[in-house]
Amino acid sequence: MTQAVFTGPEICAREAHEVVAMLKAGEVSPSELIDAAMARIAEVEPTVNATVTLCEARARGSVLDQANADHPGWLAGLPIGIKDLMPVAGVRTTWGTLGLKDFVPEESHPLVHRLEARGGVVLGKTNTPEMGAGANTFNAVFGATRNPWNTALNAGGSSGGAAVSLATGELWLSHGSDLAGSLRTPAAFCGVVGFRPSPGIAGPGPAGNRFSPEAVQGPMARSVRDCALFLDAMAGFDPAWSISFPPPEEPYQQAVLRADEKVRIAFSPTLGGFAPCSAEVEAHLRAALARVAAAGGVVEEACPDLPDLDRTYRTLRALIWASGTGRAPEAVQRHYKATLTQNIRQGRDLTVDDVVDAQLAKSELFDRMARFLGAFDVLACPVVGLMPGPVEEEFPRVLDGQPLTDYIDWLKFSFLSPTTGLPSLSVPVGLTEAGLPVGLQLIGPPRGEARLLQVARAIEVACGGPLGPIDPVIRDR
């Protein structure tokens, strides 16, 4: 049935939507894809440390009933990765912390159930910083994940393992999650697409805090079209989910196929002075958007006022840490790194007035963005304002010579989307002279996932993407 050309490295390099079409046509089997993925993982893992827990036997034992495919986003037996913050039944799930290093859940997260029901085959868990806190992926259980474009550098976080698994061709699709750019930052650093959807689109919020709209699940892929495929597989109403919405009438994949160059983009390299951006990143993004304009798009430099964004986001974020990770048993919390403990303490120190002020400011910020995006398809800005640093550096202390105040100060471009509940993504826009990928962040209107994906596809085409996969570039420094 299967020709030799459809096995090994060649099949790993293909885009996910192509492989799903081959699965549906009977040109390749899920078992053969597992073989190919396992071979690629064995080849690159010693260098990058991305897919840290494998569950090959479980994957091979999955029963794929094609007759039960319930949606156009069905994955047809495609192997996928799940971030190690999300339980998968019978598979070691550590959250990257020593207190849970041997934990094996009996029940999967609801999103895992959905993906498996739609043909996804979970092949492994991808690395994350401890409890997902931080934008450099390392922990005391598995160690650090390295950037495949330069292994001396960090891969971003907290979905760093997911991004690297895609960039190196270990997996075709990999799940991520996002609070402070946790799937957007590693996507930008690793040259893949990371999509933070609106709350309720891709599964429930954190366990025990299901109504929280700030922390969401989302798809990661090598291309915009593949990202739309994965989002289709995640989307849909479930009455058991506290925040849940029906899928769109037109699948996201179909919307992407209708994308054209006629896009209207507002661009702000600093979000109106809110966040610093290095000269290198700004120059690269301006050059990329010039290509979009040359292809027929409209790019204008504009940004709404964003009052109290920093204070508001930090308050909402601190609440999540205090109500979630900060409620873990002492046997778990005693292992936490200093920055994680600091996050929890900030949440516990909040006053009622802090919380009320944040809720009011959040509403005002949403109104401002909704009005602003009435005139544009998206607001474009950096994902992060600097290039990746050394893998040993937990977080940068300076940006273009200017000091940064704390461990999330360099992530300020990520604050707007979770604060307002607006969808956002990171799309690769080429390589620097040093051979490193750069991502452009796009923030869309309320429930504007389809148009956001279309604009991302127009940018991807104008910038010659997608980029990968690649063999890791091994560097000492």
Question: Is 83 labeled as catalytic in the residue annotation?
Answer: yes
- Residue of 454, 426, 430 whose CA lies nearest to 187: 426
CB hemisphere CA count around 95 (13 angstroms): 20
Out of 165, 174, 177, 182, which one is annotated catalytic? Answer: 182
Q: In whole angstroms, give the CA distance from residue 287 to residue 300.
A: 14
Q: In whole angstroms, give the CA distance from residue 120 to residue 118.
A: 6
| Cis peptide bond upstream of 129, omega within 30 | no
Q: In whole angstroms, give the CA distance from residue 399 to residue 294.
A: 31
- Residue of 109, 114, 31 whose CA lies nearest to 70: 114
| Cis peptide bond upstream of 466, omega within 30 | yes
CB hemisphere CA count around 384 (13 angstroms): 30
Q: In whole angstroms, give the CA distance from residue 371 to residue 350.
A: 31
DSSP code of residue 153: B
Question: Is 182 labeled as catalytic in the residue annotation?
Answer: yes
Question: Is 177 labeled as catalytic in the residue annotation?
Answer: no
| Cis peptide bond upstream of 469, omega within 30 | yes
Dihedral, CA atoms, 258, 260, 264, 269, nearest 10 degrees?
110
When computed from its CA atoms, the radius of gyration of the chain, rounded to whole angstroms, is: 20
Q: In whole angstroms, give the CA distance from residue 44 to residue 469.
A: 12
- Residue of 160, 189, 181, 185 whose CA lies nearest to 83: 160
472 in Cβ contact with 48 (< 8 Å): yes
Out of 108, 125, 158, 198, which one is annotated catalytic? Answer: 158
Active-site amino acid positions: 83, 158, 182
